[in-house]
Amino acid sequence: MAIAAFLVIYQLSGALGRYAIPLVYPFIEKLSPSQLVQDLATPWVTSPVTVFSMILACWLLKALGIDAGWSWFVSRNRGGIVWGAAAAGIGALAIWMICLGAGANSVGRNPQFTWAGVPIYLQWVFFQSASEEIVARGLYLNLFREGFGDTWAVWIQALLFGFLHYLAYRDAPFLAGMRGPSFGLMVASTTVLGLLCGLAALRWGNLWAPITIHFVWNWVSSTLTGLPCSGSFPLPGPFLTKTIGNAQWLHGGLIGMEGSVLGLAALVAMTAWLAHGRENVSTHFLAEDPA
């Protein structure tokens, strides 16, 4: 039942996006000729599609008698935010500094940077990270908990998270010729990120912790540094980071930190610390019945 419900939800959300987004963008373009205004408006105009698809999916699951964990969407528990921000930020910054120290990257002032762009890219990265967490941890994790229990659910949703990133980027034209180790490392890194966020959601019982981890990691590892994020185009930041030399395994090349050994190692370390650290998550992780 859980697998069938997942397939229905996945196809439903994809169909809604394919139908609605082409209708939304012409509306955004008519708002103003300013690219700045269009960039500011896009996440706010497109997000209702995601919200509507999630509400529809939750209604469908409720009709089928499956609890998708709706309480996580509206939880006021802010536990895990500080830990998530610190761990993700320190991890991504450490990788960047190692790459700079090894000469794998060079840093220069971005001539196109303007402070007006900061809120644009903050909201872009936040909406992207939050929407993925709502789907993967808010919906899929709780869906599979209903069918398989906590232990299997957190692994299933993590593997799906990595696989869906593979599907999203396997045919990306700007990644042509990048099907080597970095692409495989990106799939592995996003899988581990899914595991990390899934454990955080179970540990603190809300979506705020995984959203914070996801957002800070993406912002620091890509927008702040100027590197790509999981194979997507880099967004302008205060600095422009250029890859040099042949140390692709170190910086991830066109894929970014997720396509590097360092990125994978940092995500594995954060996951291991959360699972076995001072605030042990194993009792929550192994509990079949959520608190």
Q: What's the CA gap between 93 and 15, in Å, rounded?
A: 38
Question: Are residues 160 and 271 both part of a single domain?
Answer: yes
Residue with tokens 């970095």: 182
pLDDT of residue 284: 43
Q: Is residue 291 part of a domain?
A: no
Question: Are residues 27 and 155 both part of a single domain?
Answer: no
- End position of a domain, from candidates 40, 66, 92: 66
Residue 64: partners with Cβ closer than 8 Å, 6 or more residues away: 1, 5
Q: What's the CA gap between 159 and 136, in Å, rounded?
A: 11
Q: Is residue 250 part of a domain?
A: yes
Mapped onto helix, strand or coil, the DSSP state of residue 266 is: helix
Question: Are residues 92 and 162 both part of a single domain?
Answer: yes
Domain interval for residue 102: 76-286
Question: Are residues 150 and 273 both part of a single domain?
Answer: yes
Question: Are residues 90 and 154 both part of a single domain?
Answer: yes
Within its chain, how far is the Cα of 107 from the centroid?
A: 25
Residue 93: partners with Cβ closer than 8 Å, 6 or more residues away: 220
pLDDT tens, per residue, the chain with 291 residues: 666 666 666 666 666 656 666 677 777 777 777 766 776 777 777 667 767 777 777 777 777 676 666 677 667 777 789 999 999 999 999 988 888 887 777 777 777 677 777 777 788 788 888 888 888 888 888 888 877 888 899 999 999 999 888 877 776 655 555 556 677 888 899 999 999 999 999 999 888 999 999 999 998 888 787 777 775 655 556 666 666 655 677 777 777 888 889 999 999 999 999 987 544 443 444 333 333
Question: Are residues 160 and 193 both part of a single domain?
Answer: yes
Residue 106: partners with Cβ closer than 8 Å, 6 or more residues away: 100, 241, 242, 244
- Asked if residue 192 lies in contact with residue 264, where contact means CB atoms within 8 angstroms, the answer is yes
Q: What's the CA gap between 232 and 191, in Å, rounded?
A: 17
Q: What's the CA gap between 205 and 180, in Å, rounded?
A: 37
- End position of a domain, from candidates 66, 97, 123: 66
Q: What's the CA gap between 57 and 6, in Å, rounded?
A: 9
Question: Are residues 162 and 202 both part of a single domain?
Answer: yes
pLDDT of residue 281: 43
Q: For the segment 110-143, what is each residue's pLDDT rounded down to a tens digit?
A: 776 777 777 777 887 888 888 888 888 888 888 8
- End position of a domain, from candidates 36, 66, 96: 66
pLDDT of residue 280: 43
Give me the count of residues in the chain: 291
The closest of 191, 135, 131 to 161, measured between CA atoms, is: 191
Q: What's the CA gap between 84 and 206, in Å, rounded?
A: 13
Question: Are residues 101 and 218 both part of a single domain?
Answer: yes
Question: Are residues 171 and 37 both part of a single domain?
Answer: no
Q: Is residue 71 part of a domain?
A: no
Q: Is residue 179 part of a domain?
A: yes
Question: Are residues 204 and 142 both part of a single domain?
Answer: yes
Q: Is residue 99 part of a domain?
A: yes
pLDDT of residue 147: 77
- H helix runs in 109-234, sequence order: 117-133, 142-148, 150-169, 181-204, 208-218
Q: What is the DSSP letter of 105?
A: E
Question: Are residues 231 and 152 both part of a single domain?
Answer: yes
CA distances from 193 to 147, 178, 271 (A): 22, 21, 8
Q: For the segment 10-41, what is each residue's pLDDT rounded down to a tens digit?
A: 666 666 656 666 677 777 777 777 766 776 77
Q: Is residue 256 part of a domain?
A: yes
Q: Is residue 109 part of a domain?
A: yes
pLDDT of residue 142: 84
Question: Are residues 150 and 60 both part of a single domain?
Answer: no
What's the mean per-residue pLDDT of the chain? Answer: 76
In total, how many domains does the chain have? 2
Residue 211, both tokens: 């959203």
